[in-house]
Structure 1
């Protein structure tokens, strides 16, 4: 891939506020999925396709840009969308075998994979102090779910699926960084959501799951998943890829285990241990130091 230059660009809003909004939004994902009784692959496909439906009325504003997309960009969009759809399929399938905390903790390895990939693709080097901050944050994120790790029975299957889903989303993030240098966040997000959603839809048809026969409560959850963690989470992170390195955006996603734990305490009456509280503080310190080093 062509090397991407890091240019000085500014935003109207402080990046820290935008990152907080994105982290809070994606933290609702696990809560909404837990409330749904639909199959995991149905939740994933409907989440993406409902998002596409919501975004489509505004697509006419970006039609001139759509017509300028070349063949090479379409190939990257295809791989990015397939990676995102595969991430959702593997991650939500992992929850059938292992716990939410365990699966989410494994996903915290994403910044490491993105950092290595960004070095080979963009020649983006990360300082030693930033790497140390990354390890501190990852340690904190994994400690949040450590007490819920299970190695007996079929739990290892869920852990493997979660690891593969982490690799898939890392590829999606690196491709997104490349495409966002010449493509708007709206157009990029619309295409990858459409491709990922159609992949999952085909999977559901092959499995034989019902596509439409779900009650109003389930469709409300699909809608909330589309609006909160997807539009205010993934789309926002896709937008930030133009202003931040892919590794830094991936580091911000580490806040999801902490946010999900707090929301589970408030909405699901789940308990928070002192170890989890200390781990959350460790995670925030690590992410903060990393972003400061990479600024």
Structure 2
């Protein structure tokens, strides 16, 4: 029940990301830097004073590999922000959103590469959800040179966030959410800072409303959204998480409608319905697989007892 509540709150929190980024009058990479840097700033004292044993373990030979996984996760998150937010500048927002929503496909392929077998019903649900996201956003892939580059960057953004989620699933088996997210967000912020400085992107001089939007992103999408998804990775598979993230398309549309007056296109409604159906199929398939695994484990235990 606690995990389900965390996931519901995470979806609601990340749904605010798109409207807030659209509202903030600042370069996208600068916003990405501040949201991760401020989040890391909030979490660092908690990790230093409350997770000292974990930090000591990470710098020891026994925990060094886990520490590197945290660093790589931060690299993947920075790559996602850099690729996807740059894609919006080169192609349409609709195409960038739809192509970035291919994350569950890459997540499923990563799971297969790790030796897991996904049920056919899960693949069906992934296909429905991704197709629904594409239809809901009205994906119109570009044909010009810059638009094609933007489309490719959006796909790379989807791949990068899948790697980030897979690494989080790996780390969360042995590390608490606070320690993991502190390192991940900190590494991501440093890389984004380097990118902003190299590209000459301004990091200050924004209006008060923009700073309020950035603060809302830090508290909502980052500290609540991303962190709660990372928390749930201890109990829920990365593939299921990646499909649930697609609900952000629905949530963002509703928030943009209520706050920014962006009324969803009637043609988007079938896509949103497909997306919701796909998520339901994946959740049902995952629950069925979990029950089957539990029955198998119980049967094996009984046989051993005999």
* TM-score, scaled to structure 2: 0.88
Check whether the contact 2:46–2:178 (CA below 8 A) recurs between aligned residues: no
Check whether the contact 1:101–1:257 (CA below 8 A) recurs between aligned residues: no
Give the structure with the higher percent helix: 2
2:111 corresponds to 1:118: yes
Aligned equivalent of 2:219: 227
What displacement does 1:148 show?
5.2
More displaced, 206-215 or 101-110?
A: 206-215
Check whether the contact 2:25–2:206 (CA below 8 A) recurs between aligned residues: no
For residues 127 and 147 of structure 1, do their structure 2 counterparts lie closer, same or farther at Cα, with a shift above 3 Å needed?
A: closer
For residues 147 and 197 of structure 1, do their structure 2 counterparts lie closer, same or farther at Cα, with a shift above 3 Å needed?
A: closer
SS at match of 2:262: coil
2:136 corresponds to 1:144: yes
What displacement does 1:271 show?
2.2
Match of 1:189 among 162, 174, 181: 181
SS at match of 2:194: helix
Check whether the contact 2:106–2:162 (CA below 8 A) recurs between aligned residues: yes
2:79 corresponds to 1:86: yes
Check whether the contact 2:74–2:184 (CA below 8 A) recurs between aligned residues: yes
What displacement does 1:210 show?
3.0
1:209-248 counterparts in 2 under 5 A? 209-248=201-240
What displacement does 1:36 show?
1.3
1:2-81 counterparts in 2 under 5 A? 12-13=1-2, 15=4, 17-59=5-47, 60-69=49-58, 70-81=63-74
More displaced, 49-58 or 222-231?
A: 49-58
What displacement does 1:66 show?
1.2
Larger Rg: 2
Check whether the contact 2:98–2:139 (CA below 8 A) recurs between aligned residues: no
For residues 134 and 107 of structure 1, do their structure 2 counterparts lie closer, same or farther at Cα, with a shift above 3 Å needed?
A: same
**Structure 1, unaligned runs of 5 or more:** 1-11
Check whether the contact 1:47–1:225 (CA below 8 A) recurs between aligned residues: yes
Match of 2:96 among 94, 98, 103: 103
Distance 2:165 2:134 in 1: 21
For residues 148 and 241 of structure 1, do their structure 2 counterparts lie closer, same or farther at Cα, with a shift above 3 Å needed?
A: same
**Structure 2, unaligned runs of 5 or more:** 288-306
2:251 corresponds to 1:262: no
Check whether the contact 1:105–1:257 (CA below 8 A) recurs between aligned residues: no
1:125-164 counterparts in 2 under 5 A? 125-146=117-138, 149-152=141-144, 154-164=146-156
What displacement does 1:149 show?
4.7
CA-based RMSD of the aligned residues comes to 1.6
Size of the alignment, in residue pairs? 282
What displacement does 1:214 show?
2.7
